[in-house]
A = this chain, B = another copy of it.
Amino acid sequence: MTAQLDDDVDAMFQALADRTRRDIVARALVEGLSVSELAAKYDMSFAAVQKHVAVLERAGLVTKQRSGRRQVTRTDLGAIRTVRDLLGDLEIQWRERVERIDALLAAEGDGSAEGDAPDTTTTRPGSSQQRSR
């Protein structure tokens, strides 16, 4: 499973592509906050913050729960995990590809020295190489 329609994923990444919204997610993760409490923390209008919260809610990254006249916003950790796992899947896919190539190279073994099929090489994936830029 983990089907996740593209539109949902679009919305999640889109929502996280704004620093104000990422900050809201982080704050609302620690404790539920009303929209106006959130708005007080940013140098923009209340309506703007309200819109940001709406975007996050539409993306499912945050939930709102009414409490009197307050609308308490809280981050949905499950949704965050979903996004994270999406990226994690790419790493798995990459690792499988490396194993496939390794197996291929091991199986070859003999002397064929041409270089046609695997023009991707040049990068020896054996090492670490994390944390670039």
What residues make up the interface of A, taking CB atoms closer than 8 Å to B?
A: 6, 8-10, 13-14, 16-19, 22, 25-26, 29-32, 60, 67, 74-84, 87-88, 90-91, 93-94, 97, 119-120, 123, 129-133
A38 to nearest B CB, angstroms?
14
Q: Is the CB of A94 within 8 A of B19?
A: no
Q: In the complex, what distance in Å separates the CA atom of A71 from the CA atom of B16?
A: 30
Given contact pairs A17-B17, A29-B94, A132 touches B88 in the complex (Cβ within 8 A):
no
One complex includes copies of this chain to the number of: 2
Residues of B within 8 A of A16 (CB): 13, 17
Q: Is the CB of A25 within 8 A of B90?
A: yes
- The residue in A29, A79, A87, A123 that gathers the most chain B C-beta atoms within 10 A of its C-beta is A87
Q: Is the CB of A84 within 8 A of B84?
A: yes
Q: Which residue of B lies closest to A88 (CB)?
A: B84
Residues of B within 8 A of A84 (CB): 84, 87-88, 91
Question: Residue A80 contacts which of B14, B30, B80, B87 (CB distance < 8 angstroms)?
Answer: B87
Given contact pairs A9-B22, A10-B19, A13-B16, A80 touches B90 in the complex (Cβ within 8 A):
yes
Residues of B within 8 A of A131 (CB): 78, 81-82, 88
Q: Which residue of B lies closest to A14 (CB)?
A: B17
Q: In the complex, what distance in Å separates the CA atom of A46 from the CA atom of B4?
A: 28
